[in-house]
Amino acid sequence: MNKAIFLDRDNTLIEDKEGHIHEIEKFKLLDGVIEGLKKLSETDYKLIIVTDQGGGIGRGLYTEEDYEKFNNHMLNIFKENGIRIDKVYHCPHHPDLNCSCRKPKPGMLLKAKEEFDVDINKSWFLGDKVRDIETGKSVNVKMIGVIGYEEDREKLESANPDYVVDNFLEAVEIILK
C-alpha cells in the first residue's frame, strides 16, 4: 500500500483572495510552496491535489477548459521546479447538487485511495478550510489545517484537526519529522 499527502489547492498552494481563480495572469503560489513540495517530492508519499471547482465551473463562472489551462499552468511550474504531483482530482459540480465528490464529502479521497492503493492511516491532508478538515477526518487521515485568507486559527481549531499551522512549510516540517 502507498502513503499519500492530499493537498487542497486554493489558498493552500495558490493564492485565491477573490475566489474562483482561473485566470493564468492571476496565478500566484503561496510562500514556501515550491520549497515544501520539493521536499515532499523526495519522499515516497503520493502527492495528490483535491480541489473543489464547483463554485466556478458549476456556477458557469468559467469552463472546464479554463480550469484545465489554469491547472496545467500550475503543474508545469511544479514540473519545472522538480516537483512531482501524482494526480489532481477536482469536483466540477454546482454546490447545490449534493454530489459525493464536493468537500466535505470524501469522494475525491476515496477515488484516490482506490486508484493509488492508499493506506489512509499513513496519509495526510493539508487544507485551509473547515470543510477540508471535515473531509480528512471523515476518512481518518491525519489532518493539518493551514491558516489561509478565509478562516483563522480559532475557526480551524474548532474542527479539531491534528495540527493547525501558519503556513505550508510548517505543515511539511510536521509531516517529515
Catalytic residue among 8, 52, 128, 132: 8
Between the CA of residue 104 and those of 53, 101, 130, 132, what are the distances in Å? 13, 8, 8, 6
Tell me how far apart the alpha carbons of residues 17 and 155 are, in angstroms, rounded to a whole number. 18
Is residue 8 part of the annotated active site? The answer reads yes
Whether the link from the prior residue into 161 is cis, omega within 30° of 0, is no
**3-state DSSP assignment of residue 67:** helix
How many structural domains compose the chain? 1
Tell me how far apart the alpha carbons of residues 52 and 89 are, in angstroms, rounded to a whole number. 9
| 49-98 residue pLDDT tens | 999 998 889 899 999 999 999 999 999 999 999 999 999 999 999 989 99
Q: Do residues 159 and 139 lie in contact, with contact meaning Cβ atoms separated by under 8 Å?
A: no
Is residue 86 part of the annotated active site? The answer reads no
Output the domain CATH number for residue 154. 3.40.50.1000
Nearest 5°: phi and psi at 124? -130, 160
Sign of CA dihedral 172, 162, 167, 113: positive
> What does pLDDT average to over the chain?
96
Domain with 120 in it: 4-176
Asked if the model's pLDDT at residue 113 lies above 90, the reply is yes
Q: Show the cell assigned to 6.
A: 492530499
Q: What is the pTM of this model?
A: 0.96
